[in-house]
Amino acid sequence: MKRAPRPSRRQLVVAGAVGALTLGATAILPATNAMAATGCAVTYTTNSWSGGFTASISVKNLGDPINGWTLGFTFPDQGQKLTQGWSATYQQSGSAVTAQSLSYNGSLATGAATSIGFNGTFTGGNPTPTSFTLNGTVCTGGTTPTTSTPTTPPPTTPPPTTPPPTGTTPVAINGQLRVCGVNLCNRYGKPIQLRGMSTHGLQWFAQCYNDASLDALSKDWLADLLRVSMYVQEDGYETDPAGFTNRVNTLVDEATERGMYALIDFHTLTPGDPMFNLERAKTFFAAVSARHANKNNVIYEVTNEPNGVSWSTIKNYAEQVIPIIRANDPDAIVIVGTRGWSSLGVSEGGNSTEVINNPVNASNIMYAFHFYAASHKDNYRAELERAAARIPMFVTEFGTVTYTGGGAVDVASSNTWMDLLDRLKISYANWTFSDADEGSAAFRPGTCYGGTYTGTSVLTDSGNYMRNRIRTPDNFPTS
C-alpha cells in the first residue's frame, strides 16, 4: 500500500536502519601486530535456513595474554560465503576466512574468551569450517597448547572480561552498545531493547526540552533513550547549521547527564532523496561525531525517511556518510533509513529483500523502520518480523495514531505493535515528546509553557499509553 504524503510539516514518519558488514571475496586483511597465541579453543554453532545461515564462534585463549588477534578458518568447499559479520573485521578469499579483533575485544588474557559471529549463504550444505587458528596457532579445543607451554597455566574459571555495572541508569548498566547478529547488544554481549521518546522539530518545540521535562523523561517515565530530531529542511538545519548543531549537542549532553542514550536524527523527509543533503550530512556528522566521540551513549541516524528513491541510492548515501562518523567515533551504532519512509519499502510496494540481499557495506549498523499504529497494521508487522530475523532493526520513530500524526490512539494495533517489538527486542522511540496540537503528542497543548511534566494529568491519551509501556522494568541482562 502506498502511503500518501503528509498534509502537515509537523507530521513525520519513522526511519532507521540496521546494517551489517559485507565482505569482499578477494580482499586482503591488514596485518596484525598481535603476538602469537600459544593455545586456543573454539566453539562453533550455527542455525540455518534455506540458502543461508547464522554462525556464532566463541574463541578462548589458552596461552599467554594477547593484545590483538586474528582468527582464521576454512570452509570445506567454495559454497559458503560470508555476507554480514559482527564483533570482528572479516575477509574471505575462496574458502579461507579471517576475522580480526576490534578495539573493544582485542585483549584476551589467559583463559579469557570472546564471541563473534556472521551471517552467510551456502550451496549444497552448511558444514562446519575446519582448521581454526588464533594468530597462526591451531586451535585444538583442548587445554594443552599446540605449540609451547604457557608461562601461566589457564585458570579453571576464566576471569570476567567486563566489570559489573557501577550505576543504575541505562547507560551505566549497558555501556557502549554494539550490533551482534540481528540484535542490539550491551557491553556484556547480551541483546537488549531501548525504549524512549523522540523530540519534535527543534525549530518548533524548543520550549519542550528543558531540565524539568528531561528529568521527567528519565526519572518519571524511566526512559532509556532520547531521540533528538533535527529537521534539515522546513526552517531547520539548512537555515542555521551552527545554531542547530549546538542545539543537538546540548540535548545530547542533557541525555548523557541523565544516563540515557541519545539518538541523533538527521531528519530528512522532503525532499525524499538523501543525496540532496549529502554535503550537509557530511558537515553535520563530522561536527557532532567529533564533539561526542568520547561518549558511550550516542547513536547516529543518518537519514530519517527516504522516499521516492531506490535502495541503491540510500545505500550509496549511507556508505559516504558512515566513514565520516567512523573517523571520529569508530564504535558507535549507526542507523540507516530504509525505502518508503523507512518502511523497508512496504509503503512503496516493496519489501526488505532488497536490503537483506544488498546490505550497507559497513559494520555495527542497524536499519530503521517506522510505523503509525492506526494506519500500518498486519502487512507492516509481518515485514518487520521477516526482516528482523535477517538484519538488525531499530524502530526510530512510530506513533500510536495515524501516519498524519493525528487522530485517536489505536489501542489494539498499538498493543500488537508493542508486544511484537518487546518479543523481538527491537528498540524504539515514540513520536513525540512534545505538546503539539495533534494526537501523537505526549503532552497536552500548552504544557511546555508551564513547569509541570511529571504524572499523568499533563499527558494526552498517547502520552499516558507510552508512559505506561516505557515504565515497565527493563531487566537488562549483565551475565
> Is 308 domain-assigned?
yes
Provide mean pLDDT across the span 390-408.
Answer: 96
Please state the φ and ψ torsions of residue 91, each to the nearest 5 degrees: -140, 145
User: What contacts 254, CB < 8 A, 6 or more positions away?
Assistant: 209, 211, 214, 226
Distance CA 308, CA 271 (A): 9
Distance CA 465, CA 452 (A): 18
User: What contacts 384, CB < 8 A, 6 or more positions away?
Assistant: 344, 369, 371, 393, 395, 420, 426
Query: Do 342 and 17 contact (CB within 8 A), yes or no?
Result: yes
| H helix or E strand, kind and range, residue 459 | none
> Is 51 domain-assigned?
yes
Query: Do 234 and 201 contact (CB within 8 A), yes or no?
Result: yes
Q: What is the pLDDT of residues 126-167, one digit of tens each?
A: 678 878 999 888 887 643 322 233 333 333 333 446 788 889
pLDDT of 231 over the 80 cut: yes
Provide mean pLDDT across the span 68-97.
Answer: 83
Which residue type does 348 have?
Answer: E
- Cell output for 69: 588477534
> Is 158 domain-assigned?
no
The whole domain housing 329 covers 15-20+167-470
Distance of CA 15 to the CA centre of its chain: 12
Percent of the chain with pLDDT over 90: 66
Q: Which residues are catalytic?
A: 305, 397
| 173 and 88 belong to one structural domain | no
| 98 and 235 belong to one structural domain | no
> Is 149 domain-assigned?
no
What's the pTM value of the predicted model, to 2 decimals? 0.70
Tell me the β-bridge partners of 97: 73, 92
How many folded domains does the chain comprise? 2
Q: What is the pLDDT of residues 432-464, one digit of tens each?
A: 999 999 999 999 999 999 989 999 999 999 999
| 437 and 367 belong to one structural domain | yes
Q: What is the pLDDT of residues 94-117, one digit of tens each?
A: 888 999 887 767 888 888 888 787
**Other CB atoms within 10 A of residue 406 CB:** 20
| 114 and 193 belong to one structural domain | no
Residue 9 has a pLDDT of 31
